[in-house]
Structure 1
Amino acid sequence: MFLAACSKTEEKTGTETPNTTETPKEEPKKDVSLRVFSTFGGTDAARESFQAAIDGFTSKNPNVKVENDTMSANDDGFRTKVNTDMTSGNEPDILFYFTGADAKGFIDAGKVVPLNEVLDANPDWKAGFAPAALENMTRDDGKIYSIPLTGYYEGLFVNKKIFKDNNLELPTDWDKLTKAVKTLSAKGIIPLAAPFDQSHYLIEYFMLSAAGSKGHNSGLANGIDPNWEKGYAAMKELYDLKAFPKDAATIDLSMASNYYDQGKAAMVIEGSWAIGNWKNKEVVDNTTVMPFPVMPGGLGTGKDVIGGFGSGFYISKATYDNPDKKDAAIELLKSLTSPETIEKIANSNGGTSAAAGVEIKGTTQAATDGFAMVASATSINKPIDNVVTPETFSALRAGVQSIVTGKKQPADVLKEAKATEDAGTK
């Protein structure tokens, strides 16, 4: 009875201590501003998808403001901008750029950071990539400085209707190609739309056809491969057959692609991204893509392809070392390279997916043919501008017009390019 009375007294007098503990309020996240530079600008087929990916991230992270700084990849000025920014202390927080020789300078200068530890610290994110894609990003020092998004392929795009209307077989070998050039040029149709200054794809595929995969990928590091002379000589052969536009000396890559899109050209050497840029439905519906044929005496297989994962996202060291920016930049990078974003970008630009388990189905027959071309390729090779210095590649490009017009011999142009390469690698 005494215990019961005590209990009642405690209840009545309120001697028990009430629970006044409150859940602490979460500190508001600091406002962060990030700048992303990429080539998803101009008429790039994935421009809207990339902007949507950024908008999706900022809507979930309202404290992060992202400046989407873009230029077109067809504008050679974007290389100058990147090089200037990376050497003047104005580097973007996240940079989407080439992974080959173009990046060597700022990687060696420590302007960007290796991301192996970041990937390892985020195993779910790392597991979302196809192993081959990450392997393609790994440099000679074993480090991954850039994160892949979508891959690409380059090939010979052909308007099947123009070939059919002119009783021509598709250019699967050199004889069929030269026959098509002769027939089409005589009828006022541009056989092969290509510029001489921005002769990126001409150089890549003519050298791959002439020198084969090994000779192409060696660049000029081991001396001048004499088969590269054959490649240049074959360009002149087609020039003499009137293969190229009359204004090839003054047009750029965009104009050459437009000639094809307008149905004025029967063929163009382009990348997988071009399909999404072409607006002429009749042309797109009648387009296929194939490897560039092997020239007489060439060492190529006829199924060698230019492609891979040639671009990726870098994080600048300045951003990585900034505690106010580091985490936000990593989270943005993870969002921009999630399987969902990769699929949307790949569906926009026709690229190959860097994500594991994400199969991109061709939205057009040309895209489907392109994926099939890559699947059956005997080799997939990086572009030549990935294996020589930018200055050397400029010299190789500058030589095209001189060679096809007979002002210089292939051997002389290659000697000049080799001297440029040696000077740039000392």
Structure 2
Amino acid sequence: MNKKIAASLASIVALSTLAAACGTPADTGTKTGGDATQAPAQKVKLTVWHNYSGDDLRAKAVRGQIDKFKAAHPEVELDAQAIPPDGYRQRLKTVAAANEMPDVFFTNSGSMIKEFYDGGLIQSIMPLLNKQTEWKNNFTPGAFDPLSFNNEVYAVPVNASVTSLFFYNKTLFEQNGVKVPKTWDELLAAVKTFKDKGITPISLGNKAAWLAQSSILSSLANRVTGTDWFLKAVKQDGAKFTDPEFVQALGLMKGLADAGAFQQGFNSLDNTQMEQYFISGKAAMMIDGAWALTNMAATGTKEQLDQIDVTVLPSVPGGKGDPNTISGGAGGGFAVSKKPTGKQLDAALELIYTISGPDGMKAVAEANQIVNYKMDVDQSKVTSLFYKAYNLTKSVTFTPVYDAYLSSQGAEAINNGLQELLMGGKPEDIAKKLQDAQAKSIGK
């Protein structure tokens, strides 16, 4: 046994003995038979980090499953930390650099989990999936793909990643004689009509920088370039982000800002403020992810939710991408660091099953969140808006979300670049920043 571990265990035993000798109150968990006293079994310690820190229904559902595990497993001393999303990834990278990863933690799919895999910081959860085969086989096709490496699964998706739903206020559209835009030109016409009438055309909150990239650019650029081009550009193999088609996509996005599509101060508002601005009727449209469904369900009235409808982003004439698409795919999930073994690993896998198992999937879905799991959604348990979006996602194809495929440096470059672009920056300059960051990060 490692000397430091042995010394630590000896200290724990010594302190426990001293506490007992001093008559420490409360239930110690000891069992007495005759004159013999049996020491209590040492608890398994387990840490879990996640970013479900908000008041939305999905966050409450996930935290509720963690609480359920805690109540059902008194033998586990669970340290659960809910960290706000905006700083979550950086916190993980900081502890990863110090080799102090939490035992279980939430990770996004794509480049985020790949960084942990490449760093040798996580372990396969195949023992859990092989034990619970009926559960494993009930996930939708491809659900594990962005969470797998070398035919081994490293996390189970808690929810589907749907990032570019096009929400619109039916009442405002009808009152102002505007038809729901199906092409980019129709979208610009709608923007002009609403702006002329003093109504914010599109609600946007890009304070955290990722939203414009994840919810707007990922889908818009795909309509212009197509998926194959993007995947080649990510690998820097036959395509570059300075190519004319990507510069065109950035130009279309800049065109929205130039037309006055967004409210004042959009780079200072977060996505929650953006969603509240929209659902309160101050904006006619919003391009956001499926997380908005659970956020608005937690705060909006039935009347507010009933007047909102959802569709796909308008098509781009001459674009190479399929217009009947939504950026997204399999969502993030809980992974296990390299550290847990034995009983601690057993507890970690059981925690993942509690969060992402059939009961967990049901709880998340009923929190108005789309999941990668085959199940019937009880319409009476969800909002009308969620049910519309849920059915919409069954009829479309999913395309890549940019920051799920770009390197960390590439994602940071485009996120910051879009903030600059929407405030008057040049598409060519933003494209070059992304190209340089992505090429450097993969050594090309």
- Structure-2-length-normalised TM-score: 0.82
For 1:415, which of 432, 435, 439 is the aligned residue? 432
Aligned to 1:4: none
Partner residue, 2:293? 275
Between the aligned partners of 1:266 and 1:143, the Cα distance in structure 2 is 45
The answer as to whether partners of 2:225 and 2:321 remain within 8 angstroms in 1 is yes
**CA distance 1:404–1:136, change in 2 (3 Å):** closer
The equivalent position to 2:203 in structure 1, one of 185, 193, 213, is 193
Q: Which of 88, 107, 113 is residue 78 of structure 1 equivalent to?
A: 88
- CA 169–189 in structure 1, closer or farther in 2 if over 3 Å, else same: same
What is the CA–CA distance in structure 2 between the aligned matches of 1:373 and 1:213, rounded to whole Å? 20
2:269 pairs with one of 245, 251, 263: 251
CA distance in structure 2 between the partners assigned to 1:161 and 1:329 by the alignment: 48
Aligned equivalent of 2:63, options 26, 41, 51: 51
| Residue 361 to residue 424, structure 1, CA distance change in 2 (3 Å) | farther
2:160 aligns with 151
The verdict on how the C-alpha distance between 1:29 and 1:127 changes in structure 2, with shifts beyond 3 A counting, is farther
Name which of 183, 186, 194 aligns with 1:184. 194
Q: Distance in 2 between matches of 1:189 and 1:66?
A: 49
Matches within 5 A, 1:15-414: 30-73=42-85, 75=86, 77-139=87-149, 141-154=150-163, 155-196=165-206, 197-198=209-210, 199-200=212-213, 201-221=215-235, 222=237, 223-224=240-241, 225-278=243-296, 279-281=299-301, 282-319=303-340, 321=341, 323-354=342-373, 356=374, 358-361=375-378, 363-377=382-396, 379-408=397-426, 410-414=427-431
Which residue number corresponds to residue 11 of structure 1? none
Cα distance in 1 between the residues matched to 2:205 and 2:141: 36
Separation of aligned partners in 2, 1:125 and 1:275: 26
Q: Distance in 2 between matches of 1:98 and 1:402?
A: 25
Counterpart residue identity of residue 175, structure 2 = D
3-state DSSP of counterpart to 2:77: strand
Count residues with an aligned counterpart: 392
AA aligned to 2:293 is I
Give the superposition deviation at 1:156.
Answer: 0.8
Q: Helix, strand or coil: the match of 2:286?
A: strand
Aligned Cα RMSD in Å? 2.2
Q: Aligned equivalents of 2:294 and 2:388: distance in 1?
A: 14
Superposed structure 1 runs of 4+ greater than 4 Å apart:
26-29
Q: 1:249 to 1:338 in 2, by over 3 A?
A: closer
Code of the residue aligned with 2:310 in structure 1: it is V
Decide whether aligned partners of structure 1 residues 255 and 148 sit closer, same or farther in structure 2, where only a CA change above 3 A counts: same
Task: Give the distance between the partners of 1:236 and 1:131, measured in 2 at CA.
Answer: 36
**CA distance in 1: counterparts of 2:136 and 2:424, whole angstroms:** 52
Q: Deviations over 1:104-138 (max 9, x none)?
A: 22211111002224422443553454454234533
Shift of 1:376: 1.5
Q: Which amino acid aligns with 2:61?
A: S
Q: Which amino acid aligns with 1:382?
A: P
Are 2:113 and 2:147, in contact at CA under 8 Å, matched by a contact in 1?
no
CA gap of 1:29–1:342, structure 2 versus 1, over 3 A, is farther
CA offset digits 1:185-236 (Å, max 9, x no partner)? 1122111112453423222122122222333444432323422111111112
* Higher gyration radius (CA): 1
Q: For the Cα contact (< 8 Å) 2:368–2:383, is it kept in 1?
A: no
Among all aligned residue pairs of Structure 1 and Structure 2, give the percentage whose two residues are the same amino acid: 26
Which moved further from structure 2: 289-298 or 213-222? Answer: 213-222
Query: Aligned partners of 2:434 and 2:205: how far apart in 1?
Result: 20
Distance in 2, matches of 1:35 and 1:386, equals: 26
Partners of 1:158 and 1:268 within 8 A in 2: yes
Q: For 2:319 and 2:226, locate their aligned partners in 1 and report how far apart those are by CA, in whole Å.
A: 7
SS of residue matched to 2:328: strand
Give the 3 Å change call, closer, same or farther, for CA 220–411 of structure 1 in structure 2: farther
Bigger shift: residues 45-54 or 94-103: 45-54
Q: Which moved more, 1:367-376 or 1:127-136?
A: 127-136
Answer whether contact 1:353 1:359 (CA < 8 A) is retained. no
| Whole-Å separation in 1 of the counterparts to 2:435 and 2:129 | 38
Residue in structure 1 matched with residue 23 of structure 2 by the alignment? none
Whether 1:424 and 2:426 are equivalent positions in the alignment is: no
Q: Which runs of 5+ in 2 are unaligned?
A: 1-37
Q: Secondary structure at 1:46's aligned position in 2?
A: helix
**CA distance 1:104–1:343, shift in 2 (3 Å):** same
Contact 2:109 2:146 in 1 (8 A): no
Distance 1:229 1:361, change over 3 A: farther
